[in-house]
Amino acid sequence: MYGEAVALGAGTVLNALATGVGSAFAIDAETTARVELDDSGTVEGAIAGAPDGDTRLIRRCVERVVDRFGDGQGGHVRTESDVPMAAGLKSSSAAANATVLATLSALDVSVGDDAELDREAACRIGVAAARDAGVTVTGAFDDASASMLGGVTVTDNAADDLLAREAVDWDALVWTPPARAFSADADVARCERVAPMADLVAELALDGRYGEAMTVNGLAFSAALGFPTDPAVEAMPHADGVSLSGTGPSVVAVGDRDGLERVRDHWNQREGDTWLTTTRTDGARVIE
């Protein structure tokens, strides 16, 4: 029994650590999961390019799907990704979504609007697995829903409730410094101190003012998490919105390509990787 699926990375509009409400948007960076099930009863995992990588999340995704739809199968899951790990670009959510869909495919469980399981429900399996594995503080339904559904989403992560989703067509610029930051290590108490700003960001996002929401979020959470605001300030004259993505360290700007190319000139002078991409509205998918 074999299944293969792809899910998307994402950037942040609103970090959910302060209030539990979050917002994210899918970008054109993919994670692929390949799952082969057998009768071993145990699940093994591997991450391409990271032989010592933590596979708890992807193994738990397989286990949760098998617990619900299978018959005690074990097997092997392997992921490979364009999304850098621990960079704030939702690599864990993308890996979870891809693994869940690949495992469902291996079990011949259909996913879709008129299928046995819709994509929101499939996404929640990965969110639950992320909580089990301890790789997230909030459950990250905002990140996971953007990765799974595409477009921009606003969610209540405490209830795993999708508050809004909109298809958006943006160019995006990503700067990822060499340092890495794991979401589970974020200082939640400091993030909770910027809750009034997070409430404002949520209002802006639910009103469709995503660029303004991103910029307020980026300044507030950069301060809370100890990241410099200089990259955001450099982008503000040329971008519609710019934010620290997730718990960092990546910074993501959106806007028109000409403006983002000006931002890229600034960010290229910084250590790390800078790359232009676009949003995606199609979300995760099974590879037949």
Annotated binding site: 84-94
Relative to beta strand 74-81, strand 43-47 is parallel
Contacts of 120 (CB under 8 A, 6+ apart): 145, 148, 149, 162
Q: Residue 84: name the closest of 4, 25, 29 by CA.
A: 29
Which contiguous run of DSSP H or E holds residue 176? strand 171-176
Long-range residue pairs from 210-213, CB within 8 A, at least 24 positions apart, any chain: 210/13, 210/23, 210/25, 210/152, 210/168, 210/241, 210/254, 211/239, 211/240, 211/241, 211/254, 211/255, 212/241, 213/13, 213/14, 213/23, 213/241
Distance from C-alpha of 275 to C-alpha of 167, rounded to nearest angstrom:
22
Q: What's the angle, vertex CA 71, arms to CA 8 and CA 108, rounded to 5? A: 45
Q: Residue 31: name the closest of 271, 283, 239, 254 by CA.
A: 283
Amino acid sitting at position 32: T
In eight-state DSSP terms, residue 84 is P
How is 25-64 classified by DSSP, letter by letter?
EEEEEEEEEEEEEESSS-EEEEETT-TT---HHHHHHHHH
Which residue shows structure tokens 């299978």? 70
Binding residue positions for ATP: 84-94
